[in-house]
Amino acid sequence: MEQFPNQQDHNTLPKSVIRPGGRFKTVWNYLVLLATFWYAMIVPFQVAMSSNHELEPAWIFTVDLLLTLFFITDIWISFRTAFMQDGETIADLKIIQQRYLRGWFALDLLATLPLGWYFLMQGDFESGTLLGLFRLLRVVKLHALFRLFNLGVSLRFHAQLALLFFWISVGINWLACGWMWLVPNQSGDDWVSFTIEAYYWVVTTLTTVGYGDITPIDNPTRIYTMGVMLVGVGMYGMVIGNISSLLVSSNQYKYKKRQKIENLVSFMRQYKVPINIQNEVYGFYRHFLLEQAADDRTILQELPEAIQSRIYSHINVMLLRQVPLFEKASEECLMDLEKRLESMVCSPGEELFKAGTMGEDMYFLTHGAVEVFSADGRLLAKLRRRSFFGELSLIYEKPRNATIRSATFCDMFRLKKSDFLQVISNCPHFKNSLEKALATRYGEETKGLVPVWNQRQKN
């Protein structure tokens, strides 16, 4: 994860809520991965051993009980872990729980249900294979990898290499256990020698060495061997390709971002910029470099300017089309509006307008969050991306009915009243659909008010 020196998070969370990018949650996610790795490696081995009539050690059941309790605790922690949205930490427990229930909860519950203990309590020790298959459901907890990526964990070369060999080791283990399940231990070797022999066969087959000292003996094992050979060809190409790619260019885009941050740090130190200003600068670059998936201008910079302009126009027209007031507007009107949008970035705590003042513009929020306050300072709502505000003062000559203040770094577009009126004059038919949309959306709130274009016609 790329770090910003001297950066402090002044947003305090309730004690009942866990910070998503905090040290505790990050360590906990790695522990979940470790526990899941245990099941991914041990359970297939248990299934293979059950086919060879090997008894399962009693301590395996103890570990399984402890990990069941661990996974139950993980569900409880997930219900109380805040999440990031548009650069804002969402700490409302109700929203957190709703999001988790709609997301990973079903998989976490499936991985936590102690189905194997049902067989243990029934005394059904003969169903070792079935017991192992139920335990294998715990492997779905590997989605914790995605939880780490969602927290913004940026894997460097050694971590990416470790992740690659993590999947290779799991794959080899499963293939070896499949061979042990298909080819029982008939020679009477101890289980250690039998296991090593199975791993030896998998590695020699996957790497296309194939010494021929261990060969399939019937049709099922021959079919299995052919499948392993095909997997080996793909795995060999994947390993070579991934390692070569990592060595040549370990994620060039993230490297460029990291280099930019390092240059920024050197600049701050050289000129001894005050800490409070540094925090603002690092906060902006966190928003600009880390919160956004990619710099769209970097992606499109190789295209001709005419094509770039058409792409940005299409994106902005889509944004305008999401505004209920403009959904009935023609494509020509929306394209005219789009050309007049003014892009802007706001810092946290920046006041966009104040209640009681006359408005001359409206805003379209594309990233971040803003807070809506009443005239007496009460927090009324919080608006996030794809929201719009300020439209009533744009359309009617009336004061602002609320104060808007940015809660995070925000990307937005501004539409000025003068530009809006120019569009109205260019698209007379737009006025009718707009007036109907206003009546439908606001009803009594705008009763008796005259749109600004009608006022100017009278004047």
The answer to whether 50 touches 128, Cβ cutoff 8 Å, is yes
Please spell the DSSP secondary structure of 320-345, one letter per residue.
HHTSGGGTTS-HHHHHHHHHT-EEEE
- pLDDT of 76 strictly over 90: yes
CB contact at 8 A, 44 and 170: no
Q: Cα 92 vs. chain centroid, distance in angstroms?
A: 19
Stated pTM of the model? 0.57
DSSP assigned state of 457: H
Which CATH number is 305-458 given?
Answer: 2.60.120.10
Helix axis angle for 305-321 and 331-339, nearest 10°, is 110
Q: Is the pLDDT of residue 24 over 80?
A: yes
Higher pLDDT, 234 or 24: 24
Token digits for 271?
């000129």
List, for residues 244-259, the tens digit of each pLDDT value. 666 655 556 566 666 7
Residue-level pLDDT at 404: 93
Query: What is the tens place of the pLDDT at every residue in 4-20?
Result: 343 334 446 788 889 88
Residue 314: which H helix or E strand, with range?
helix 305-321
Is residue 416 over pLDDT 50? yes
CB of 147 within 8 A of CB of 104?
A: yes
pLDDT of 361-381, one tens digit each?
889 998 888 999 998 989 998
In this structure, what are the phi and psi dihedrals at residue 14, rounded to the nearest 5 degrees? -60, 150
Tokens of 382: 């919080």
pLDDT tens readout for residues 128-185: 556 666 667 777 777 766 665 554 444 455 566 667 777 888 888 889 988 888 887 7
Q: Phi and psi dihedrals of 341, rounded to 5?
A: -70, 140
SS3 assignment, position 10: coil
Which sequence spans correspond to the domains of the chain?
Answer: 1-154, 252-291, 305-458
